[in-house]
A and B are shown apart, each in its own frame.
Chain A
Amino acid sequence: MADYKWPAADKRFLIGKSFTRLDGPAKSSGRAKYAYDVNRPGLLHGKMVFSPHAHAKVKSIDTRAAEAMPGVRAVLVMFEPGKEVLWAGQEIVALAADTEEQARDAARAVKIDYEVLPHLVNDPPPGNAGTGRTQAGSETKEGDPDGAMKAAEVTVEGTYGASVITHCCLESHGQVAEWQGEKLTVWASSQNVTGIAGELSKALSVPAANVETVTQYMGGGFGSKFGADPWGPACAQLARKAGRPVKMMLERDQELMEAGARPSIYAKVKAGAKKDGTLLAWDSESWGTSGPQSGGNPPIPYVLRPPNRRSKHTAVLTNIGPGRAWRAPNHPQCCVITMGALDDLAAAIPMDPLDFFLKNIEMAGQQAKSYHEELLKAAEMIEWKKKWRPRGTKEPGPVQRGLGLSIHTWGGGGHQSNCNCTIHPDGSVEVAIGTQDLGTGTRTIIALVAGETFGLPLSAIQVNIGDSKYPASGASGGSTTVGGVSASTRRATTNALNELFAKIAPSLDAKPEELEAWDGKVRVAGNPGRALTWQQACAKLGAAPITASGQRTLDLISSGVGGAQMAEVTVDTETGVVRIEQMVAVQDCGLVLNTKTAESQVFGALIMGVTYALYEEKLMDQQTGQCLNPDMEFYKLAGLADVGRFRVHMMTGPGYDERGVIGLGEPPVVSPGAAISNAVANAIGVRVPTIPITPAKVLAALEGAPAARRA
C-alpha cells in the first residue's frame, strides 16, 4: 500500500536528483507557443491609448476619427470621463484593427481632453509629501527602545532604501481572446490560469463554465501577472464587438509604465549595540510608495529583531504608477534597510560583520540554527575569513575591493491545489492540474512527483497544465506553487496507485498493502521476483482507466526558510562603477525535489538581484510626471558581462528534508541588494544609502554628500 508521505532518503526514486526541464526542448527550439505567439484565423490586433499625464481629469474622449481609420474593427472606451487618472500610462481607450500598424495609427487618432492636475512622482519623506499624500501605517514597539538606545555603547544613524523598479517581463502583459458563440477562450500571459477565468467571467457577465483560459508558457511574471487586468476584459469585449479574435499585448513602454512596479521603501534608522557586539536596540521611521495606494506594512527590522525596538511606517501616495507584488514583496527593500544599518553598526563597533551576525543570530528566532550553519557555509565558500578587511581598508590604486553579507527569510507553504491522475490500461499516465509554469520548472516537478509515486521516469508522465479546464489550482505567487502542486500530485497519484494495487494484487497472489511500485515494476515488497512490469500491471485494468484525485494537504509541505548570501565586489573610486566579482548563496527550502531547477532558481535570483542592486530604477520626470526610461535601452538589465561568478549551495539532508517541500521563488532574491550594498560600503569606506548603487551615487557618497539618494 503506497503511503502519501515523502520517501526516506534511501527510498527515493527521483526526488533530489537533477533533471532537465520537460519543456526545455520546446523552449530552446522556439516551438513553445506563448500567449504572444498565438495567431488565430482572422486575428485582429489590439492597442490601448494611455494617459500621458500623471494626474489629470479626463474631460472628454472622442473616438470618431479613430473609428473611421482604415482597418479598425472595434473601439472600446475603458475610462469614464469626469474621473481622474492617477498615473501616466493609465488606459483610456482600446481598439482593434486588421494589422498592428493600423491599430497603432488609429490609437494616435483618438482625441482625449484632460484637465491636468498637480502630481507627485518622487517619493519624499512623509513630511515633504504634501497634504493628503500620506497614509499612516503600522507602528510597533517591543521592549524599551529608548532606554536600550541610551544604554548602548555604540549607535549609528542613517537613511537606507530602495527606489521603485519595474517588473519588465520579457513577454509583456496581454492576451488573445476569441469567442465561439457564447464561449470565450483567452490565451493569457498569466501567473493564475485558473483564477483569471473566474475574473473574466465576472467582468464580462459570462457564465464561468463558458470561459477557458490557457497559459501553456509564459514569459515572466515575477508577481505582476496575477489578475486579468483592465486589458483582459477589454480585449474580450473588442473581440465580441468585432466578431473576430483579438490579440492585445502591451507595448514595451506600456509594460514598464503600467504593468509592474516594485514599491520603494526608505527608512531613517537608529541602531545600538554593546561594544562586544550585542545588538540592543532599533528605532526606525520608514516610508514608501506603491503609487496611489499603500504597499502594506514592511517587516522592519528584518530577520534579526533586537529585543528593544520601535518601527513606524507611512505610505506616501504618489502618481508613479500602481505597485504590484514583486518577488518576495517588501523583503528585498527591508533587507537592504536592515542589513545595511546592522552592517554600519558592526563597522562602528568595529567588528567583522560575520562575527556580529553570528553573535546575534538567536534574534532570528526559530531558524537561528540554520542561519548559523548557512553563514558559516557561505563564509567557507567565499573564504570570508581570509579575504575580509575592515571597512575602508585602502589598496593601492583607484579600484577597491570589498565583501558584504546578508540573510533573508520567506514563508512558502502551498496554495490550494487539486490534481487528477489517470492511469490508462496501456500504462500511460496523465496528471492534470490547473496550474502554470512560470519558468520555475513546475511542469517538471509535477512529472517528478508522479514518477516518484509510480516508479516511472519523468518521460512516462503526461503533464496537463496551463488550462482552466483542469482541476483548480492557485496563483503562482509567494513561493506557494511547488508546495501546492507537489502535495496534490502526491495524493492523487498515490490514490491512483492504491486503486491499481487493489485491482492487480490477486494476480500477484498478494495483498494490496504488500505491493510497491519501483523502477517500472509493480512488485511484492521484499520479494522482487514476484513482479509485473508497469505495462503488464496496467493491462490488467481491462478497458477502464483509473482516475483518482488529490488535494493539497499541509502534511507534505512546510513554510519558513532562510538563506545567507555573500558578495565580493570591486569599486572604481574614480568612476564609481561597481563590479560583481563573485557571489555565493546558501539556501534552505526543505525537501529539494529537482536539484537542477532549484539551483537555477537561486542563480537566477542572484542575477536579478545584481540587476536591482546596481541598475534598475523607474526614473520619473518631475516636470511632466512621465516615466523617463520606459524602454530597455535606459531601463537597464544586467547583461552577461555584468554578472560575476556565482556559486550556490542548497542545504539538504537531515534537519531539512523532513520538513517537506517549500518554495524557492522568493527567498534567494531577497539578499543580493543588501549583500552588494554592504560589500560596496566595505570597499569604499562609506555607505551608499540607497539602491540601485549607480556610479553617481558612489561618487556622491565618496565626496561625503549628505544624501546620495535621488530627489
Chain B
Amino acid sequence: MSDEHGGRPLDGNGPPASLPEPPETEDRTDAKGFSRRAFLKGAGVTVSAGVIVTEGLLEGASATPPAAVAGPGPTPIALKINGSAHRLEVEPRVTLLDALRDHLDITGAKKVCDRGTCGACTVLLDGKAVYSCSVLAIDAQNYAITTIEGLAAEGELSPVSAAFVEHDAQQCGFCTPGFVMAVTAFLKRHPNPTYEEVTGGLGGNLCRCGTYMGVREAALDAAKRLSAGRA
C-alpha cells in the first residue's frame, strides 16, 4: 500500500516523492508549461517565470518545449499558493519548502528531515500530497499549491484540523500540519476509509511524541465530518 505522498511506497525505500502527474480527469484550468513526464523524458529544461504557457500550448506538451535556461543565480519564478499569485526570485536549487518558509513567510509546512522521509513539510500540488522539501520551487510553478494555511481562514479550522483538536492528535505539534495535509489528501481519495486503510495510507508521515492513536481517530472522524458536510 502506498501512502499519500506522490506514490512513495510505505517501506520508505522507493524513489523520492515526485510531482504529481497532471490529473487525467480533473479540469485543469491552470496553465501548465509542460508535464513532469515530458521533463523526465529528457526535455531537461525548466520554465522561467513569466513564461505562462497558454492552454493551446498545453495541448502540444509532448513536443519539446522551448529551452529556457535558469540559474545558477536567483531566478524569477511565480507560484500560485492558496489561490494567490506570488512572484519571487530564488536560486533554482531552492526547494518549495524553503521558498514557502524563507521567502514567503508561509511557515505551516515544517522543515524536519529535509529528505522526503518524515512528511512534516507536506503540501498539496493540484490536490495531491507531496513532500515540499523534495520539490524544487522552480518546478512547482503552474501547479495550484495548497499549504495548511489555505485549508481555512485564520481563526477557523478545516474539518480535518478540527478533528485533530478534538482527538488530541498532537502534542508538540511539529508534525501536525504535515499530518493534517496528508489526511486531507488521503480523504479525497478514500472518503470512507477503514481503520486499516488509515493506518497504511498515512505511513508517509512520522511523529516523535507518539500521537498516532489520536491521528487515526482524527482521520476516521474527519471522514465523517466531511461526508456530513457533503450530504
A170 touches B212 (CB 8 A): no
A170 touches B213 (CB 8 A): no
Cβ distance A703 to chain B, nearest Cβ, rounded Å: 26
Q: Which residues of B contact A170 (CB under 8 A)?
A: 110, 112, 118, 120, 172, 174-175, 206-208
Interface string of B78-121 (1 = CB under 8 A from A): 00000000000001011000100110010111111111011010
Known: A25-B157, A252-B113, A640-B216. A608 touches B148 (CB 8 A): no
B118 touches A607 (CB 8 A): no
Q: Which residues of B contact A99 (CB under 8 A)?
A: 91, 102
Q: Which of A36, A101, A597, A632 has the most CB of B within 10 A?
A: A632
Instruction: Among B154, B200, B210, point to the contact of A607 (Cβ < 8 A).
Output: B210
Q: Which residues of B contact A23 (CB under 8 A)?
A: 173
Cβ distance A457 to chain B, nearest Cβ, rounded Å: 16
B108 touches A30 (CB 8 A): yes
Known: A30-B147, A99-B102, A603-B214. A439 touches B209 (CB 8 A): yes
Interface string of A594-611 (1 = CB under 8 A from B): 001100110111111001
Q: How far does the alpha carbon of A34 sit from the alpha carbon of B198 in the complex, in Å?
A: 28
Known: A639-B206, A641-B203. A20 touches B166 (CB 8 A): yes
Query: Which residues in window 172-226 of B have CB below 8 A to A?
Result: 172-177, 180, 198-200, 202-203, 205-216
**Which of chain A's residues has its CB closest to B148's CB?**
A30
Q: Which residues of B contact A33 (CB under 8 A)?
A: 107
B213 touches A646 (CB 8 A): yes
Q: How far does the alpha carbon of A711 sit from the alpha carbon of B184 in the complex, in Å?
A: 45
**Which of chain B's residues has its CB closest to A610's CB?**
B210
Q: How far does the alpha carbon of A28 sit from the alpha carbon of B168 in the complex, in Å?
A: 10
B110 touches A637 (CB 8 A): no
Q: Is B44 an interface residue (CB 8 A)?
A: no
Q: How far does the alpha carbon of A519 sit from the alpha carbon of B202 in the complex, in Å?
A: 42
Q: Is B164 an interface residue (CB 8 A)?
A: yes
Known: A36-B111, A640-B202, A641-B10. A219 touches B174 (CB 8 A): yes
Cβ distance B193 to chain A, nearest Cβ, rounded Å: 12
Q: Is A383 an interface residue (CB 8 A)?
A: no
Known: A30-B147, A596-B168. A439 touches B173 (CB 8 A): yes
B110 touches A643 (CB 8 A): no
A643 touches B157 (CB 8 A): no
Q: How far does the alpha carbon of A100 sit from the alpha carbon of B157 in the complex, in Å?
A: 32
Interface string of B144-173 (1 = CB under 8 A from A): 000111011010111001101110111111
Q: Is B60 an interface residue (CB 8 A)?
A: no
Query: Which residues in window 590-646 of A have CB below 8 A to B?
Result: 596-597, 600-601, 603-608, 611, 631-633, 637-641, 643, 646
Known: A170-B208, A219-B173, A641-B200. A29 touches B148 (CB 8 A): yes
Q: Which residues of B contact A640 (CB under 8 A)?
A: 198-200, 202-203, 205, 212, 215-216
Q: How far does the alpha carbon of A579 sit from the alpha carbon of B111 in the complex, in Å?
A: 30
B168 touches A220 (CB 8 A): no
B170 touches A631 (CB 8 A): no
Q: Which residues of B contact A29 (CB under 8 A)?
A: 108, 148-149, 151-152, 154, 156-158, 161, 177, 180
Interface string of A18-55 (1 = CB under 8 A from B): 00110111011111111011010000010000000000
Q: Which residues of A contact B211 (CB under 8 A)?
A: 600, 603-604, 607
Which size class do B's interface residues fall under?
A: 35 or more
Q: How far does the alpha carbon of A29 sit from the alpha carbon of B184 in the complex, in Å?
A: 12
Cβ distance A27 to chain B, nearest Cβ, rounded Å: 3
Cβ distance A482 to chain B, nearest Cβ, rounded Å: 14
B172 touches A218 (CB 8 A): yes
Interface string of A284-316 (1 = CB under 8 A from B): 000000000000000000000000000000000
A27 touches B176 (CB 8 A): yes
Q: How far does the alpha carbon of A65 sit from the alpha carbon of B206 in the complex, in Å?
A: 39
Q: Is A352 an interface residue (CB 8 A)?
A: no
Q: Is A84 an interface residue (CB 8 A)?
A: no
Instruction: Among B107, B120, B148, B169, point to the contact of A37 (Cβ < 8 A).
Output: B107
A252 touches B208 (CB 8 A): no
**Which of chain B's residues has its CB closest to A631's CB?**
B115
Q: Which residues of A contact B175 (CB under 8 A)?
A: 170
Known: A606-B210, A607-B212. A631 touches B172 (CB 8 A): no
**Which of chain A's residues has its CB closest to B219's CB?**
A640
Q: How far does the alpha carbon of A252 sit from the alpha carbon of B117 in the complex, in Å?
A: 12
**Which of chain A's residues has its CB closest to B13's CB?**
A633
B208 touches A169 (CB 8 A): yes
Taking beta carbons and an 8 Å cutoff, which residues of A are in contact with B? 20-21, 23-25, 27-34, 36-37, 39, 45, 99-101, 168-172, 217-220, 222, 249, 251-252, 438-441, 596-597, 600-601, 603-608, 611, 631-633, 637-641, 643, 646
Q: Which 5 residue pairs across A and B have the least CB separation, nearest first?
A: A30-B108, A607-B210, A219-B174, A27-B173, A604-B210
15 of the cross-chain contacts (CB-CB < 8 Å) are A24-B164, A28-B170, A29-B177, A30-B108, A37-B101, A101-B91, A169-B208, A220-B209, A438-B172, A600-B214, A603-B210, A604-B171, A608-B208, A608-B209, A631-B113
